[in-house]
Amino acid sequence: MIKAIKCYAWRNDAGPTGGPGGVLWLMRQYLGHEYNGIEIQYKFKPKKSSFYEGAFKHVLTREVFRFDKYYICHDIATAAALSLLNKNYTLIFHQQGPIIDEITNFGTRLGRKRRWFLQWIERRAFTLAKSVHFPSEGAQSMYFDSPNATTKRENVTIGEALFNTIADVKYPTANKDLRPDILTFVSVGTITSAKGQDNAVEFLSALLSQYSEKIRWILIGKGVLQTHVINKAYSLMSKYKNFYFNYIESIPNREVRKILSESDVYLMCQRISIFDLASLEAMCAGNPISEGEGMALVLSDVGGNRDINKEDNIVMVRENDFDGAAKNFLSRDLREMKKKNRKIFNDYFSPVCFVKNYQRLFDNILNGKLT
């Protein structure tokens, strides 16, 4: 008999930051410590513990004699360790594709032994789980379509997608420096190939060739491509007198939200995206004076971005067709896009939806469907 559901994320307890630790924080915040008389427990990584070896040591010593719990794991290390103990667990996989893809996409080189170890952990975590869930249907496809996937789809018990949410935030007073007569785009994130800010410049170039009114692009972030992207943006500003570019390397999150609240369009042309929490923030980050509006979104047609496009509410950039995406954007009613995105957030991705999705998982566990 299950007396408790224990939720693991072998990450720091650092707030709603996204990824395994951020989602566990949101679970604790919105689901609490009890459901239908069953205790819900939450375990983060201690600050001085290592990622993989530390997770194995903790689970193998602390859970070996526990026989009345079901486990929800937000990381592959705790899941693989539980599999060695023959425990019942569900894995929720938040990585950007297979673990090898995620690590190498950020420039880390792996030796043969380390690569084998990580793939062994991932394979056990997937194939021995009672169910495996992704944060979007796009993330699931991204995983199994990769040549580095450690198992095939038919060898895994796939559960419904468990969409993430964002913590309730109050957007600050409007930034008066942003002029209302300029169509303002914002891109936020590390300036890398994966995040695709170089593609964002290409979209803006295509848009400027078709649009004569004033456009501003605010780029917030830093990364290996920042010099390249900034130079391309300044070249656009020299070519088009109606284009204004503002670059901000780093500002506090409150200031980011301040800029979002007075901007019109969130622009991200990622090459890799499992489910972008910043897109959710943009969907409900519109001008606080304009009740019921979020921001319009222009996103690349990859991964989890497709899951956000519930009712043709996003302008999708397909296969680097920047001209087509620009024409699509100009054909839309900007005000209606903003309103629709706020509605889509409330209907599919709000904290209320997040709670309902996880409560369905709890019900399946307690009703014996996953044991």
pLDDT in tens, 41-75: 999 999 889 989 999 999 999 999 999 999 999 99
Spans in the chain with pLDDT lower than 50: 174, 176, 288-289
Structure confidence at residue 272 (pLDDT):
87
Provide the CATH number for the domain formed by 183-348 in this structure: 3.40.50.2000
- What are the residue boundaries of the structural domains of the chain, listed by start? 4-165+351-366, 183-348
Query: Which has the closest alpha carbon to 128: 98, 99, 150?
Result: 150
Tokens of 192: 């890398």
Instruction: Output the pLDDT for position 170.
Output: 60
Q: Which CATH number fits domain 4-165+351-366: 3.40.50.2000, 1.10.3720.10, 3.40.50.10210, 1.10.730.10?
A: 3.40.50.2000
Quote the pLDDT of residue 176: 46
* pLDDT the model gives residue 178: 55
Position 179 scores a pLDDT of: 58
pTM for the whole structure: 0.90
**DSSP string computed for 205-272:** HHHHTT--S-EEEEEE---TTHHHHHHHHHHHHHH-TTEEEEEES---HHHHHHHHHT-SEEEE--S-
Q: What is the pLDDT of residue 307?
A: 94
Q: Is the dihedral of CA 152, 306, 23, 2 positive or negative?
A: negative
User: What's the residue count for the chain?
Assistant: 371
φ/ψ bin of 15: left (φ > 0), alpha (ψ from -120 to 50), beta (otherwise): left
pLDDT at 278: 85
> What pLDDT sits at residue 355?
97
CA distance 41 to 147: 36
Instruction: Say yes or no: do domains 4-165+351-366 and 183-348 share a fold.
Output: yes
Q: Quick check: helix, strand or coil at residue 139?
A: helix
Q: Helical H runs in the chain? A: 19-31, 52-62, 76-84, 99-105, 112-127, 137-145, 197-208, 226-239, 253-261, 277-283, 305-308, 322-330, 334-344, 351-366
For 89, the token pair is 């667990």
Please state, rounded to an integer, the average pLDDT across all residues of the chain. 91
